[in-house]
Amino acid sequence: MSHKSLLVLLLITIAIATESPALQQLRHKLESNEYNSQLVDMLELSVAGGQIDRVFELLQKMIDDLTGQINSANLEHASRMAAFQLSIEQLEANLAQLQNEVQTTNRKIGEITQSISTLTSTSVSIKKQLETINQREEQIRNNRAKEIQSVETKQTASQKTLETLEEIHNRLVKAVLSNQGSFLEETEKQEIINQVKQELGLTHPLALLLDLSAKFDELTAKKAIELIEQIIASIKESQQFREQNQTAAEQNFNSLINEVSILREKLGQDNQKTSSTLKNKQNDLKIAQRRNKQLSLNQENTQQLIETTRVQKDLYDSNFRSNASKREGQLNSLKTAFQILRDNEQALKK
């Protein structure tokens, strides 16, 4: 119904027609709004035109059209609301899935962090053991060097003693063989005693023997020769013993160094393995953290999308309700008009 043409018709009719009681009743009964006043004006024109049957036909058609519109709008509303609901449910399912994944990733991050902590202390402990083993090797080598030094000093000293004793021995033997009567000169005797004291010590039995003998005679010399030979044999024996002992000590040293090397190699392998596992775990941690960041972002976006969809749904629903209530009002007006005109049909037809 065009507003402009209605107005033109209205102006013409107002001049020629006075309002019927039925239309007056209708105007009072209907709520005052643009639609209703246009409706009554239109009916007034049509009634004035005298085509009452056409008016009923028209009203019925309007009622049917509007009812059709209401039905199809209701269907459309139901389907769109279902579509909104489905979107929201899908988004909520996505959100729940994301929350699950975040939890799983967080658990994984916790596990990786725990392993990293364990591996780090293992690595520290291995490095400390390596340090200890290196110190131990240094100590073994130092000890060995000191031992070699000390043995060399002893061997040199005993060699010097040996040489002196051999020289004294030779002198005494020569004296015994060549001279039967007057024995060694006092000066030579004193020289020998001094040498013995120097090499063997002041209280050595040989020193005492020579020192205390009232007469340095052949018998004393023979006793001294015998004693010197015993001492020489004993020195040679202990030299030999020291050498043998050094062979054993060297073997012992080599086996200690070997043990240390094996241990260090094993620790080195452990260290490498631990370091590489640690590196992998740190990499895993980075990946898991990056994944969690992405998941959190997706979670936020999904949450926001749910909110937006809800707002759109509510807005659509409230627009629909407002349209629906307008349509219901119009339908009621049409039905009321139809009923009142029907009630006054006879009067209107006169």
Ligand X SMILES: *[C@@H]1O[C@H](CO)[C@@H](O)[C@H](O)[C@H]1NC(C)=O
Q: Which residue in 97, 115, 323, 336 binds ligand X (CB under 6 A)? A: 323
Q: Which of residues 248-287 bind ligand X (CB under 6 A)?
A: 249
Report the nearest approach of ligand X to the CB of residue 78 (Å): 12
Q: Which residue in 319, 325, 332, 339 binds ligand X (CB under 6 A)? A: 319
Q: Which residue in 35, 56, 320, 338 binds ligand X (CB under 6 A)? A: 320
Report the nearest approach of ligand X to the CB of residue 51 (Å): 31
In terms of CB distance, is 282 or 323 closer to ligand X? 323
Report the nearest approach of ligand X to the CB of residue 323 (Å): 4
In terms of CB distance, is 80 or 264 closer to ligand X? 80
Q: Which of residues 220-249 bind ligand X (CB under 6 A)?
A: 241-242, 245, 249
Which residues, including other chains, have CB under 8 Å from residue 177's CB and lie 6 or more apart? none
Dist. CA 159–CA 165, nearest whole Å: 10
Q: Which of residues 52-71 bind ligand X (CB under 6 A)?
A: none
In terms of CB distance, is 47 or 334 closer to ligand X? 334
The contact mask relative to ligand X for 113-152 (x = CB under 6 A, - = no) is: ----------------------------------------
In terms of CB distance, is 99 or 325 closer to ligand X? 325
CB 340 within 8 A of CB 26: yes
In terms of CB distance, is 72 or 269 closer to ligand X? 72
CB 270 within 8 A of CB 129: no
Footprint on this chain of ligand X (rule: CB under 6 A): 241-242, 245, 249, 316, 319-320, 323
